[in-house]
Structure 1
Amino acid sequence: MSALITMALYQPNMGKEEQLNSVLKNHIKTLEAEDLITSREPIRAQAADGTVIEIFEWKSDQAKDAAHESPAVMKIWNEIMEIAEIKSLSSLDEANHPFPNFAPYSV
């Protein structure tokens, strides 16, 4: 299968915003190092409720599945799950509007 665009949404737990930012600095680097994502520049944004949105491109369905077998990726994902809630796009108020807008977010 061809490449897949994905949106990962993380709402940091109270007081964990900086820690999430620190973990996310390594997230994309780790996916790149494991050769799981394309060279397309990821986009990061933030919803009004503080949810951080990462948009990136998997190389394939197989690459997405391989991420679950990678100890390096699983380490990052486990760190994220300890400090943030994984959310769906529909949970954001912005998703209820056409042409939703989000603030830029940089790590």
Structure 2
Amino acid sequence: MAAGEMVIVGYRPHPGQAAELERLVADHVPILRRLGLATDRPALAMRAADGTVIEVFEWQPGGIERAHADPQAGALWARFAAVCDYVPLRELPEFGAMFAQFTPLAS
């Protein structure tokens, strides 16, 4: 079986949306798995000092491409857009350190 692709993504919550973002991140990968888009590899979620949530998970081979055509994935992404902005990881000070440290989110 072909390997999937690991992804690391940063979500900066809109004002007052941190709790909703954390709930959404907790549901995110399980939904992608039900859609056959993400692997069973354990996902990680953590918070940066500025409140940005970092998520690490693995797409199924071709999962990224299939997600763009999947209406349920599109609806999921619309929910993210309502509560956060995507953040390039280089904008987070933690990624300038030799060992980037974050606060784990409850799984």
Give the TM-score taking structure 1 as reference length.
Answer: 0.92
Identity %: 28
Instruction: Report the secondary structure of 2:11's partner residue.
Output: strand
Per the TM alignment, residue 24 of structure 1 is displaced from its structure 2 partner at its CA by 2.1
Aligned-partner SS, 2:69 = coil
Which residue in the other structure is 1:89 paired with?
Answer: 89
The 2-side partners of 1:31 and 1:5 are apart by 14
* 8 A contact 1:89–1:95 mirrored in 2: yes
Find the counterpart in structure 2 of residue 54 from structure 1: 55
- In structure 2, C-alpha distance between the alignment counterparts of 1:100 and 1:19, rounded to whole Å: 25
Helix, strand or coil at the partner of 2:26: helix
What is aligned with 2:6?
5
Q: Distance in 2 between matches of 1:44 and 1:10?
A: 11
Structure 2 residue runs of 5 or longer lacking an equivalent are none
Amino acid at match of 2:94: E
CA deviation string 1:3-52 (max 9, x = no partner): 11101210101101111122223211110001111111101111000000
- 66-75 vs 19-28, which moves further: 19-28
Deviation at 1:58, TM superposition (A): 0.8
SS in 2 for 1:55: strand
Mapped contact 1:8–1:54 kept (Cα < 8 A): yes
TM value normalised by structure 2: 0.92
The alpha-carbon deviation at position 78 of structure 1 amounts to: 0.8
Could you say which residue in structure 2 is the equivalent of 1:67?
67
Q: How many residues are paired up? A: 106
